[in-house]
């Protein structure tokens, strides 16, 4: 019974982690950007979906759509306002740009966090779930919303996989992540690839955020922990490797769930962080890292 409970809950939370971390891994792989405003963008999507439901009185579907749209818009805005000017400026030396982008996105995330707390308070927000009620799986009373979360996550990841491996544009993205210079020699405009990747990332952030809002809820305080969890999943999986991030998401998700059930919910995140330290010692590239 407890085993089933852990399996089911762990699967739902891990799927959500996987979706959240995939986009994060993708933009690092392709453009070398570690976006530390990741958590803030997810929280923005949740708060937008919540506000659409409560202030504009939209239904669950419309609210979720608004959340995804705002998450997407905020991500694109982040790219054009924060990241791209730093990538293109000549005032900063090439080798220093990564650290500038890192700092800029971190500060941007804090600004978003404070703005959300100012406008909508720092209390937790939840998004009205699209599916309600509970289903019994192997005797475990499982919220239908939890199943919905896992199914949507995997659908989106599958679509992403098809996009990257089966379409011309997707292959250009894949190629850019392997060898950016080589891609430009083939006549692909690298900045177009960046925009495409950030657009995909924006949709992933929006969907992951809204699902998280329906499943567990977030507050402006969640900005830091969400960025940290995406970061540690991606580092554990190997920076830039999307499949590594997927595996790492399940490792972290199940490790957390097992800890919460068998030891204490208060120590939930500790074993995964210890594992991260160990992996960094043994294999600094992570599970499937290329960089």
Partner 1 sequence: MKKPATRGASTSKFVLLSTSAAMLALAAAAPSHAQSNTPIKIAVIAEAQAVAGSSIPQAAQLAADEINAAGGVDGRKIEIISYDNHSSAAESVRAFQRAATEDHVNAVIASYISEVVLALEPWTGRLKTVMVTPGAASDVITQNIAKDYNNLKYTFHGYSTSTSIADATCDAAKDLLVKDLHLKTAVVMSEDAAWTTPLDAEYLKCLPQIGLKVLDHIRVSPDTTDFTPIYNKIEGEKPDVMITGISHVGVQPTVQWKQQEVPIPMFGISSQATNSSFWQDTNGAVEGILYGAFSGPGVAVTPKTLPFVAAFKKRYGNNPSYCGYTAYDEVYYIADAIKRAGSTEPDKLVDALEKTDYVGTIGRIQFKGKDSPNPHALKIGPDTITGLMLQWQDGKQVNLWPANVANGTLKFPKFVKVGAAD
Report the interface residues with partner 1, using CB under 8 A. Answer: 5, 9, 13, 53-54, 117-118, 121-129, 132-134, 141, 143, 145, 216-220, 222, 257, 260-261, 265-266, 268
Please say which residue, 48 or 203, places its beta carbon nearer to partner 1.
48
Question: Which residue's CB is nearer to partner 1, number 121 or number 167?
Answer: 121
Smallest separation (angstroms) from partner 1 to the CB of 281: 27
- Which DSSP string corresponds to 191-207? HHHHHHHHHHHHHHHHH
Q: In angstroms, give the least distance from the CB of 11 to partner 1.
A: 12
Distance CA(176)–CA(193), nearest Å, equals 8
Q: Which is nearer to partner 1, 37 or 220 (CB)?
A: 220
Least separation, in Å, of the C-beta of 111 and partner 1?
A: 14
Q: How far is the CB of 235 from partner 1 (least distance, A)?
A: 21
Query: Could you give the C-alpha distances from 259 to 10, 235, 254, 271, in angstroms and in order?
Result: 11, 21, 8, 8
Determine the length of the chain: 291
**Closest separation in Å from C-beta 232 to partner 1:** 16
Q: Which is nearer to partner 1, 113 or 241 (CB)?
A: 113
Q: Is 136 helix (H, G, I), strand (E, B) or coil?
A: strand
Whether 218 contacts 120, CB under 8 Å = no
Helix (H, G, I), strand (E, B) or coil at 135: strand
Q: Among positive and negative, which fits the CA dihedral 89, 90, 91, 93?
A: positive
DSSP H or E segment with residue 141: strand 140-143
Least Å distance, CB 141 to partner 1, is: 7
CA 9 to chain centre: 19
| β-strand partners of 135 | 142
Distances (CA, A) of 287 to 71, 176, 271, 274, 291: 29, 21, 17, 15, 12
| Nearer CB in complex with partner 1: 57/166 | 57
* Closest CB to partner 1 among residues 243, 269: 269
Nearest to partner 1 of 128, 235 (CB atom): 128
Nearest distance from C-beta of residue 128 to partner 1, angstroms: 4
Report CA dihedral (246, 65, 144, 54) to the nearest 10 degrees. Answer: 130
């Amino acid at each position: 019974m407890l085993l089933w409970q852990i399996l089911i809950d762990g699967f739902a939370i891990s799927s959500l982690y996987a979706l959240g971390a995939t986009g994060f891994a993708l933009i690092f792989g392709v453009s070398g950007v570690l976006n530390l405003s990741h958590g803030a963008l997810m929280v923005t999507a949740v708060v937008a979906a919540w506000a659409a439901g409560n202030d504009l009185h939209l239904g669950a579907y419309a609210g979720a759509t608004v959340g995804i749209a705002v998450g997407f818009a905020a991500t694109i805005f982040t790219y054009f306002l924060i990241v791209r000017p730093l990538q293109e400026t000549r005032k900063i030396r090439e080798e220093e740009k990564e650290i500038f982008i890192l700092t800029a996105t971190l500060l941007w995330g804090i600004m978003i966090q404070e703005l959300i707390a100012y406008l909508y308070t720092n209390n937790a927000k939840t998004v009205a779930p699209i599916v309600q009620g509970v289903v019994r799986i192997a005797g475990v009373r499982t919220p239908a919303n939890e199943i919905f979360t896992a199914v949507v996550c995997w659908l989106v990841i599958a679509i992403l996989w098809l996009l990257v491996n089966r379409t011309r544009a997707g292959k250009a993205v894949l190629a850019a992540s392997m060898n950016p210079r080589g891609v430009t020699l083939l006549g692909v405009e690298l900045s177009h690839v960046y925009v495409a990747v950030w657009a995909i990332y924006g949709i992933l952030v929006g969907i992951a955020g809204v699902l998280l809002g329906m499943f567990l809820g977030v507050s402006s305080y969640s900005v830091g922990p969400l960025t940290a969890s995406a970061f540690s999943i991606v580092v554990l999986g190997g920076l830039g490797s999307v499949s590594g991030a997927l595996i790492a998401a399940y490792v972290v998700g199940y490790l957390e769930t097992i800890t919460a059930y068998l030891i204490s919910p208060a120590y939930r995140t500790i074993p995964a962080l210890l594992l991260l330290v160990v992996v960094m010692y043994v294999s600094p590239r992570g599970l499937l890292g290329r960089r």
